Amino acid sequence: MAERAALEELVKLQGERVRGLKQQKASAELIEEEVAKLLKLKAQLGPDESKQKFVLKTPKTRFHHVGQAGLEPLTSGNPSALASRSAGITGVSHCAWPQGTRDYSPRQMAVREKVFDVIIRCFKRHGAEVIDTPVFELKETLMGKYGEDSKLIYDLKDQGGELLSLRYDLTVPFARYLAMNKLTNIKRYHIAKVYRRDNPAMTRGRYREFYQCDFDIAGNFDPMIPDAECLKIMCEILSSLQIGDFLVKVNDRRILDGMFAICGVSDSKFRTICSSVDKLDKVSWEEVKNEMVGEKGLAPEVADRIGDYVQQHGGVSLVEQLLQDPKLSQNKQALEGLGDLKLLFEYLTLFGIDDKISFDLSLARGLDYYTGVIYEAVLLQTPAQAGEEPLGVGSVAAGGRYDGLVGMFDPKGRKVPCVGLSIGVERIFSIVEQRLEALEEKIRTTETQVLVASAQKKLLEERLKLVSELWDAGIKAELLYKKNPKLLNQLQYCEEAGIPLVAIIGEQELKDGVIKLRSVTSREEVDVRREDLVEEIKRRTGQPLCIC
Amino acid sequence: MAERAALEELVKLQGERVRGLKQQKASAELIEEEVAKLLKLKAQLGPDESKQKFVLKTPKGTRDYSPRQMAVREKVFDVIIRCFKRHGAEVIDTPVFELKETLMGKYGEDSKLIYDLKDQGGELLSLRYDLTVPFARYLAMNKLTNIKRYHIAKVYRRDNPAMTRGRYREFYQCDFDIAGNFDPMIPDAECLKIMCEILSSLQIGDFLVKVNDRRILDGMFAICGVSDSKFRTICSSVDKLDKVSWEEVKNEMVGEKGLAPEVADRIGDYVQQHGGVSLVEQLLQDPKLSQNKQALEGLGDLKLLFEYLTLFGIDDKISFDLSLARGLDYYTGVIYEAVLLQTPAQAGEEPLGVGSVAAGGRYDGLVGMFDPKGRKVPCVGLSIGVERIFSIVEQRLEAELLYKKNPKLLNQLQYCEEAGIPLVAIIGEQELKDGVIKLRSVTSREEVDVRREDLVEEIKRRTGQPLCIC
């Protein structure tokens, strides 16, 4: 086997040699000689029984979301060992993404940059600082924080050092950061990738590596002001992104607790009933009730009582109504929650966003570390997305108050109350990308303003000089890496990349001391004096004349 | 053990419940009831032999970035990205981990420094070690034959802390690469232009870019009589010439690595040379070197490179240095490394490669390793060592901080306390009129008015400094 591999390698190298010689237009004898050698080697190799099949499905060059893509790994039955002195490098013909991950092509990066720009600008507008944390944490830091989801954590191999795990979210690292630095208050945002070993069968299309954009306010403050600001931020971001109408559902952990208690749900059934109730945004009440009674052993009357509550949603009037509810108002927890929501609504009205908020008693998910208000933003019109599973019926952001988490990291259990939000950008990326496609807006992946081109041969030196001048003046410029490129190819390059201007150097123009400046779209050309070129380009591209 | 962990969890939660109830001023009975539950749980836990110590830290070799450090980072990336964009680069991103096999066999001896993920029943994964191999994988996967791209992301290396104190295991790389079959040396020259633009814009001091070529090294060693098997190890000795003397390098090669002394001497004649394009011309005339095909190729390309670098206006920053030898794993042609000329004093930081802040070169064989048909895509690129730049910029900014306009007096005093500065010379409107400066001792908080003209002497007296500037 190894012999065959070595032979195959020699054949490959010899093939390269022959191609190279042909490219260099070497002498015919030399080429013939090397071709003969190649054929001899190939003969030695013999007929190819186990022809190494390469099952590589090519993604489109402008590839869209492929998720688990049907991209199969190349089988590397014969890893070819390079015999060259570029030592220690062995050829491994393997090209695939780890499951649930993907590259971001330049096009997808352009979309991503647009989206992050809107989000970050909003966070900064609200005075948030930014931090970053390592991609992995000590395993013990993450242990016990995510309940059942803990099995979805990626662990690192025990290589003799500390036991590590990839971060599952940005909230636990944040709590660790606060405790470590003994901070009692901070307003921070953090944008980074997180890792979850989701089961692909259940969550087709969901990534295992994906971005989260978190904003959190930690500290002991007067009630509901920071909570209201979080909601304001959510609304600002979703409006600015222009991804359609949205609604922010709000509820409170204490109201849910109280409500379940007075309906007669036992503590042990709390979580599981929660997850049933949470499905109300996707399925009908009948189905939910059936699940609770049929599958989860809840008494029908209890289910009915729950039903009376959880099908309600509305504005502050619903809060008022529930505050008058004879049973609910007897429950201390529920009262606390309702009181805080009432205050919250007052602030949201002052913030001008009360029309976007709905107090929804069925909002129940993600309750692991939340202790107070919880919220979730959903898109009202889900644009049709081919092949994409609706994730939480258009949920694009979520958050809430979690007062107990930091205390879990502090040796003395000192609590730091926190409230925050997380924007689900992956979903937003695809919506924005589709929107741009629908508008047939060309997404540029570079910012080049001018291509330095030549109209005749032997003008490479002049191009190099000119492009260097432009770079030194802060202008974004390119040139083709060819000594004598055809003008047509250079113009085509501009059209494909969306470069607006071409600075054409020609022999005659050189003598006259001018450069021909051509607009790619209008095809108009004008002669510009060499010394005026930088200014003219800046003028046309709307750049400030000084280098800032 | 699992039971204990679950119990500890319950204790914690119950403790929270009790605290919460107390905060809410719940009824005394309820509180008592819950406290009783808590005590019962704690009793179950038993005496705490292995008391759970809160090991509140980031993993070894990693760190958080505070808002302040993020500000530095943002500034530095801004300069770098602006330069990459100015040269028309697109940007990509890749996953933090790759299939283990993708990374296997690409890094030689350094492969033992790769972080593996635990086998949890799925694919075997490893954290990326650099951004170049993922790039080659990206090109092959997408069957791209040419692209100009930059990529800024963290990479992971399980460096041995004893050997490389101060080096991080998680750190940023800023890579720029041009892939494609082009006319020789033009993209290579642009990479060097980019390196110089970035290092100039960052204003971190004077720098020099050393340039060499893998084929020249190969040829040189061949004609000196170095056997193929000794190539790499002699390379790494030669590479130390930027840190130690030739005598030491020769001793290592002869004494430790078994090289014949005359071979070492021949090497010495070459590798101690560095210069501009004139050195290239000189070597092209060298009787032995010019007989070696590889070396000739390399020298020819360097000559062309220097022509372009002169047109780009950066030839004064470039030095053809025959001792530049490191990082040769996948390089096939020109190689380069930028070093800072004046290393600002950095407390507790080990000099890394005597101020190396960027490096790169041509690697024509890497993409072919990922292509099923072995199709080659020539590449040339560079990598900026930003971590080092972060600390240099951070120090520079600290000095600037003190010159911020209108800072609050309290903040200034606090700054002194935190930084351990013993004295504050406070300027006030009234004092200005009176021609005095208020000199305050940070520790004792005593203040005294000192005449402006006596201030220097007074400060020197108090800080035990000699009165003359020596």
Residue A398 φ/ψ, nearest 5 degrees: -160, 165
The token duo for A137 is 């944490």
- Helix runs in B344-463, H state only: 386-401, 409-419, 429-434, 455-462
For residue B224, pLDDT beyond 80: yes
Q: Check A101 against B106: CB less than 8 A apart.
A: no
Q: Check A162 against B59: CB less than 8 A apart.
A: yes
Q: Pick the range with the lowest mean pLDDT from A2-11, B46-55, B209-218.
A: B46-55
Q: What is the pLDDT of residues B127-172, one digit of tens each?
A: 999 999 999 999 999 999 999 999 999 999 998 765 455 679 999 9
Write out the residue limits of the CATH 3.30.930.10 domain(s) in chain B: 67-396
3-state DSSP assignment of residue B83: helix
For residue B174, pLDDT beyond 50: yes
Angle separating helix axes B67-86 and B386-401, nearest 10 degrees: 120
Cβ pair A316, A354 in contact under 8 A? yes
Output the pLDDT for position B353: 41
For residue A78, pLDDT beyond 70: no
Cβ pair A166, A153 in contact under 8 A? yes
Return all residues near B229 (Cβ < 8 A) that are at least 6 apart.
none
Q: What is the DSSP string of B246-292?
A: HHHHHHIIIIIT---HHHHHHHHHHHT-EESHHHHHHHHH-TTGGG-
Amino acid at A511: K
Q: What average pLDDT does the structure give for chain A?
A: 84
Please check if B273 is assigned to a binding site.
no
- Restricting to B residues 269-288, those with a Cβ less than 8 Å away from any Cβ of A are none
Distance (Å, whole) CA B349 – CA B165? 8
Closest CA to A79 of B426, B106, B90, B261: B106
Helix, strand, coil % in chain A, rounded to nearest 5: 45, 15, 40
Q: Is A151 exposed, middle or buried (0-12, 13-18, 19+ CB in 10 A)?
A: exposed
Distance (Å, whole) CA B61 – CA B315? 38
Q: What is the distance, to the nearest Å, from the Cα of residue A215 to the centroid of all Cα atoms in its chain?
A: 16
The token duo for A546 is 């000084």
Does CATH number 3.40.50.800 belong to domain B401-463? yes
The token duo for B127 is 């954290």
Cβ pair A458, A484 in contact under 8 A? yes
Left, alpha or beta for A386 (phi > 0: left; psi -120 to 50: alpha)? beta
CA dihedral angle for residue A82, residue A84, residue A85, residue A89, rounded to 10 degrees: -20
Distance (Å, whole) CA B216 – CA B267? 12
Q: What is the largest CA-CA distance in chain B?
A: 100
Write out the residue limits of the CATH 1.10.287.10 domain(s) in chain B: 1-45
* CB-based contact, A147 to chain B, within 8 Å: no
* CB-based contact, B26 to chain A, within 8 Å: yes
Output the pLDDT for position B243: 82
Distance (Å, whole) CA B389 – CA B394? 8
CA dihedral angle for residue B134, residue B70, residue A121, residue A472, rounded to 10 degrees: -70
Number of residue pairs across A and B with CB atoms under 8 Å?
Answer: 266
Output the pLDDT for position B161: 60
Cβ pair B200, B312 in contact under 8 A? no
Q: What is the pLDDT of residues B189-205, one digit of tens each?
A: 999 999 999 999 999 98
What class, spelled out in words, does domain B67-396 have in CATH? alpha beta
Amino acid at A29: E
* CB-based contact, A72 to chain B, within 8 Å: no
Residue A364 φ/ψ, nearest 5 degrees: -135, -10
For residue B2, pLDDT beyond 90: no
Output the pLDDT for position B197: 98
Output the pLDDT for position A20: 78
- What is the residue whose two structure tokens read 């390592």? A134
Output the pLDDT for position A275: 82
Q: Which residue of A has its CA nearest to B179?
A: A481
Q: What is the DSSP string of A34-58?
A: HHHHHHHHHHHH---SS------PP
- What is the residue whose two structure tokens read 């992946």? A445
For residue A53, pLDDT beyond 50: no
3-state DSSP assignment of residue B175: strand
Q: Which residue of A has its CA nearest to B230?
A: A85
- What is the residue whose two structure tokens read 């790619």? A520
Q: Pick the range with the lowest mean pLDDT from A75-79, A145-149, B323-327, B455-459.
A: A75-79
Q: How many residues does chain B have?
A: 470
DSSP at A67: T
For residue A529, pLDDT beyond 90: yes
Q: Check B16 against A407: CB less than 8 A apart.
A: yes
**Which strands form A246-252's sheet, in the order they lie side by side?**
A129-130, A186-195, A209-218, A418-423, A395-401, A373-379, A246-252, A357-360, A313-314
Distance (Å, whole) CA A304 – CA A283? 16
Closest CA to B140 of A76, A170, A389, A444: A76
Tell me which chain B residues have a C-beta less than 8 angstroms from the C-beta of A482: 182-183, 186
Distance (Å, whole) CA A437 – CA B364? 36
Q: What is the pLDDT of residues A142-159, one digit of tens each?
A: 998 887 788 899 999 999
Q: What is the pLDDT of residues B47-64, one digit of tens each?
A: 544 444 567 899 999 999
Amino acid at A438: A
For residue A70, pLDDT beyond 60: no
Distance (Å, whole) CA B233 – CA B239? 10
Tell me which chain B residues have a C-beta less than 8 angstroms from the C-beta of A59: 141-142
Q: Check B86 against A52: CB less than 8 A apart.
A: no
- What's the pLDDT band for B37 if we cut at 50, 70, 90? confident
Cβ pair A448, A497 in contact under 8 A? yes
For residue A366, pLDDT beyond 80: no
Residue B467 φ/ψ, nearest 5 degrees: -75, -20
- Restricting to B residues 371-390, those with a Cβ less than 8 Å away from any Cβ of A are 371-374, 376
* CB-based contact, B311 to chain A, within 8 Å: yes
Distance (Å, whole) CA A205 – CA A210? 12
Q: Check A73 against B99: CB less than 8 A apart.
A: yes
Task: Measure the N-to-C terminal CA separation of chain A; round to a whole number of Å.
Answer: 62
Share of chain B above pLDDT 70, in %: 89
B301 sits in which H/E element: helix B293-311
Return all residues near A44 (Cβ < 8 A) that are at least 6 apart.
A7
Tell me which chain B residues have a C-beta less than 8 angstroms from the C-beta of A175: none
How many C-beta atoms surround the C-beta of residue A456 within 10 A?
A: 12
- Helix runs in B27-167, H state only: 28-45, 67-86, 100-103, 132-141
* CB-based contact, B369 to chain A, within 8 Å: yes
Distance (Å, whole) CA A436 – CA A231? 27
C-alpha to C-alpha distances, A225 to A432, A500, B406, B423, nearest whole angstrom:
31, 48, 31, 42
The token duo for B381 is 């690129």
Closest CA to A288 of A257, A310, A266: A310
- Restricting to A residues 449-508, those with a Cβ less than 8 Å away from any Cβ of B are 460-461, 464-465, 468, 471-472, 474-479, 481-483, 497
Write out the residue limits of the CATH 3.40.50.800 domain(s) in chain B: 401-463
* CB-based contact, B193 to chain A, within 8 Å: yes
- Helix runs in A126-186, H state only: 139-142, 171-180
Amino acid at A110: A
Q: Check A481 against B24: CB less than 8 A apart.
A: no
Q: What is the pLDDT of residues A246-283, one digit of tens each?
A: 999 999 999 999 999 999 998 888 878 888 898 888 88
The token duo for A216 is 């959190």
Sign of the alpha-carbon torsion through B350, B353, B359, B363: negative
Q: What is the pLDDT of residues A161-192, one digit of tens each?
A: 899 999 999 999 999 999 999 999 999 999 99
Q: What is the pLDDT of residues A473-524, one digit of tens each?
A: 999 999 999 999 999 999 999 999 999 999 999 999 999 999 999 999 999 9
How many C-beta atoms surround the C-beta of residue B407 within 10 A?
A: 12
Distance (Å, whole) CA A374 – CA A365? 9
Q: Check A468 against B313: CB less than 8 A apart.
A: yes
Distance (Å, whole) CA A361 – CA A249? 9
Distance (Å, whole) CA A236 – CA B194? 39
Residue A530 φ/ψ, nearest 5 degrees: -50, -45
* CB-based contact, B78 to chain A, within 8 Å: no
For residue A382, pLDDT beyond 90: no
Left, alpha or beta for B347 (phi > 0: left; psi -120 to 50: alpha)? beta
Output the pLDDT for position A55: 28
Please check if B19 is assigned to a binding site.
no
- What's the pLDDT band for A80 if we cut at 50, 70, 90? very low
- Helix runs in A48-167, H state only: 106-125, 139-142
Q: Which residue of B has its CA nearest to A108?
A: B92
3-state DSSP assignment of residue B192: helix
Closest CA to A375 of A214, A224, A277, A249: A249
Angle separating helix axes B186-202 and B293-311, nearest 10 degrees: 50
Tell me which chain A residues have a C-beta less than 8 angstroms from the C-beta of B70: 129-132
Q: What is the pLDDT of residues B395-424, one digit of tens each?
A: 887 766 655 545 577 777 877 877 678 888
Distance (Å, whole) CA A98 – CA B96? 10
CATH number of B1-45: 1.10.287.10
Output the pLDDT for position B157: 94
